């Protein structure tokens, strides 16, 4: 007997703080996404390279020192995977909109679940 599996939209969470990463993963899974998590931008890019079906990058602005920031990651993803939606979060400072890719949405932390669900519904409907 063959089981029918419903394919869920795939998201990558890039967050260097383990507790915050887990919270983001849980939130996105509850919203219906299959989630791949990454502790830094390099891991996030690796997920995107290995999974062409990723439709969402959810990234924090700050990443471990010495590597790419979340903004750097967002710009690279926008260039290499232009159909991938991008949500950028930060609890420290809101980035200048001119530094964000045109397809990216900024959400301040802590984010309102209702606002995030509205953004994610748009991604899932694509």
Q: Report the alpha-carbon distance of residue 45 to residue 6 in Å, rounded.
A: 25
pLDDT confidence of residue 115: 80
Residue 13 CA to residue 35 CA, distance in Å, equals: 7
Helices (H), the chain: 18-30, 41-50, 70-80, 113-124
Q: How many domains does the chain have?
A: 1
Q: Report yes or no on 1 lying in a domain.
A: no
- 3-class SS of residue 103: coil
pTM exceeds 0.95: no
Question: What pLDDT is stored for residue 109 in this prediction?
Answer: 81
Six-digit token string for 81: 């995977």
Q: What's 44's domain CATH number? A: 3.40.50.2300
5 is a domain residue = no
pLDDT of residue 126: 56
Q: Which residue has the tokens 């998201």?
A: 11
**Structural domain range at position 62:** 10-124
pLDDT tens-digit profile, the chain (126 residues): 445 455 788 999 999 999 999 999 999 999 989 999 999 999 999 999 999 899 999 999 998 888 899 999 999 999 999 999 999 998 887 888 888 998 898 888 887 778 888 878 766 555
Is residue 67 assigned to a domain? Answer: yes
- Write the CB contacts of 17 (distance below 8 Å, at least 6 apart in sequence): 60
Q: Which residue has the tokens 């991938």?
A: 84
């Amino acid at each position: 007997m063959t089981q029918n599996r419903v394919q869920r939209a795939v998201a990558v969470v890039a967050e260097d703080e383990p507790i915050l990463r887990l919270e983001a993963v849980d939130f996105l899974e509850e919203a219906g996404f299959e989630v791949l998590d990454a502790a830094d931008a390099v891991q996030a890019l690796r997920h995107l390279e290995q999974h062409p079906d990723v439709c969402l990058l959810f990234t924090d602005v700050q990443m471990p020192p010495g590597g790419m920031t979340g903004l750097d990651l967002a710009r690279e993803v926008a260039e290499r995977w232009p159909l991938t939606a991008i949500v950028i979060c930060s609890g420290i400072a809101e980035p200048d909109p001119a530094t964000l890719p045109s397809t990216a949405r900024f959400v301040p932390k802590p984010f309102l679940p209702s606002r995030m669900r509205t953004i994610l519904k748009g991604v899932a409907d694509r």
